[in-house]
Structure formats: C-alpha cells, structure tokens
Amino acid sequence: MTDSTTPTPEADQTPDKGTALLEFRKVNTHYGAVHILKDVDLAIYPGELVCLLGGNASGKSTTLKTLLGMVTPTSGDVVLDGEIVNDKPISYRVERGITMVPENRRLFKRLSVLENLQLGAYLRSDKDGIAADMQHIFELFPRVEERLGQKAGTLSGGEQQMVAIGRALMSRPRVLLMDEPSMGLAPALVQVNFELIEQIHEDGMAIFMVEQNANMALSIADRGWVIQTGRVVLDDTADVLLVHPELRASYLGGRDER
C-alpha cells in the first residue's frame, strides 16, 4: 500500500488551503506500554469533510479521543487553529470549536430531547444565538422538534442520532468529530443519515468522521486517510480512495477497533 510520506500526483496538485483548523503533528500515543498512534500527521481545513478508515485495532478511535482531549499524546502536538492544546481539557477545546457525536449516540436517556439539546450549549451564554441555533436544529430535523418533551431513551435509533447531532451542533462547533455515525441504524436509515451529514457539510461545517461504512463515507467526503497499526499509510482524495484496489480489498466496510 502507498506510504503517506510519498506524495501522490493528486497531492502535488492540491492548492494551498490556508491554516488548518485542527492538526496532528507527529503524534504518538500510548495506553500503558502499548504504542497506539505512531508519528501521525493529519490536518483538517475549514469546510472539509474528511474520513478516517482502518481495520480493527488500527487506532481510529484513539485518534478521535486524542483530538478531543480524552487521551494525551506522549509526544507530538495537537494543534487547534494554530494553538498547541496538548495540555488543554475537553471543555477548553469545546469552547474553541471542537465537539463530537459519539459512537452509539450516548444521549442522556432519562432526560427529555430538549434537555439533551440544551446540554450541547452548556458552555455558551449568548441566549439569542442559542435560540437561533435551536431553531436551525428544528429546520434540519423536524422530527426532533415534534419530540422535544419525550425522554431521549424512548426514541428510535434514527431519532436518537438526530438528537446527538443536534446536541453537538448546539455548541456551535468549527470542527465536528463523528464516531461511527451509522452504527446501530436500520439499513433504511443509513442513507438518510449520510444525506443529513452531507447537508451539514454543505452548510460549511468541517467534519472529521470515523465510519465503518467506508463506501458511504467516501461517497460524501472530500478526502480520506487510512490508518494501519497506528500509522497513516494512505492519504488521498475520496474519489481516488473509492477506486483504490488494495483499499477496497482491505478496508472498505471494515469494523472499528477500540
């Protein structure tokens, strides 16, 4: 498989995108003595939708956790809008514009839909902005507005995913991290889910997504990375990755790791 350090013709022709919103610079992470991420470089630019692909135990979820601040790198830097944030807590990163839609939604099931959405804005104090963003959520997800008083745990999987995305958007992020957004959804809802993600992206949101349904992810993404045993081994446009024979044989449709 092509090594990420070898520039491809596509990469050589990529125009300057300006300053990255979120970066890894030679990031290494460990769980105890186990070396998970190994000299990982990546960059997410304003307005991009980028997906991360890989097999079991490849480092995908650890990448998300390190970006958000749940895991601290043992070396290298996590850079948010030009600032090294290795020692910054999750709350600081959320205030600066990172938020995540976690795997399996992770809603507060005993709270109402409205309360879950309000929790997404817990670091904000701009009441008018919060109200405007809440209205935007209702426009994106009319079904969510219909169920505001309902306990989140009583919703269908598709409805819970809408609430989880809405809760994340209520923090007014600049970069939206998504961990397996189609996991647990009925097949009929997967296409709808990706259409909603694509719409959010088209509104200008930068999105970094780990997704088991690699074909669907690449079909709406701008770029993709492939990570293998903690190293990025392929970095290219989504169009190129979709037809990459070795990638198709090894990773498309693969499951997540840890």
pLDDT in tens, 132-179: 999 999 999 999 999 999 998 898 888 888 899 999 999 999 999 998
Helix and strand element counts for the chain (H, E): 11, 10
Tokens 């405007």 label which residue?
Answer: 132
What pLDDT is attached to residue 8? 42
Per DSSP bridges, beta strands 223-228 and 34-44 are: unpaired
Q: Which residue has the higher pLDDT, 188 or 111?
A: 111
| Cβ atoms of residues 68 and 177 within 8 Å | yes
Please, which contacts does 141-150 make with residues 24 or more away whose CB atoms are closer than 8 Å? 141/165, 141/166, 141/196, 144/113, 144/117, 147/113, 148/112, 148/113, 148/114, 148/117, 149/112, 149/113, 149/114, 150/112, 150/113
In the chain the domains, ranked by start, together with CATH numbers, are 19-97+173-258 (3.40.50.300), 107-171 (no CATH)
Model confidence at 11, pLDDT cuts 50, 70, 90, reads very low
Question: How much is the pTM?
Answer: 0.84
Q: Which residues contact 173 (CB under 8 A, 6 or more apart)?
A: 94, 97, 98, 99, 205
What pLDDT is attached to residue 123? 85
